[in-house]
Amino acid sequence: MDRQCAAYAMNNYQYKARNDAGNEVSGQIEAPDERGAVDLLWQKRLMVTSLHLGVPAPSSGRRGGSKPKAQELAVFSRQLATMLKAGIPVYQALKAVARQNSQTSLQPIIEDIARGVEQGQSLSESLARHPRVFDRIYVGMVHAGEGG
């Protein structure tokens, strides 16, 4: 990404739209503004019926947005640890924890971490992309656990 594009903060928008078959679809899209979101959805051949600013974009750990509550982070940590102790692979455990946290501000961040792991990053590397949520101590402890 060039420096000029990096200067623009991206926002996460929740949308509802209709596809070519007339079926309603919904989801999230990252764009600099509403107009950009509509344009991106139009390029995907979706007719927007509803669009509003959603939770901070998954990669927004460096750009502001609200920090999840300590209790949400504690629950996430406990859930993930329990699944990993049970022998569930990291990616599958993250996806399950994301589903369990679907009503929290942590859910899109957990999904982004899962995408990072799926793309070959370690769990600690994926966590480190969200410094407002996972501080250096947290990331360091996970990194130490990965080496053990």
pLDDT per residue as tens digits for the range 8-59: 456 777 888 888 888 888 888 887 788 888 888 888 888 988 888 765 444 4
Q: Which pLDDT band holds residue 94 (cuts at 50, 70, 90)?
A: very high
- Give the range of the structural domain holding residue 135, as residue numbers without chain letter: 70-147
Sign of CA dihedral 80, 123, 144, 61: negative
Q: Of 20, 24, 23, 53, whose CA–CA distance to 36 is shortest?
A: 53
Residue 137 has pLDDT above 60, yes or no: yes
pTM for the model stands at 0.56
Mean pLDDT of the chain: 82
Give the pLDDT of residue 51: 85
Q: Of 105, 144, 126, whose CA–CA distance to 12 is shortest?
A: 105
CA 76 from centre of chain: 14
Residue positions counted in the chain: 148
Number of domains in the chain: 2
Are 128 and 95 within one domain? yes
Are 137 and 103 within one domain? yes
Give the pLDDT of residue 66: 61
Are 90 and 46 within one domain? no
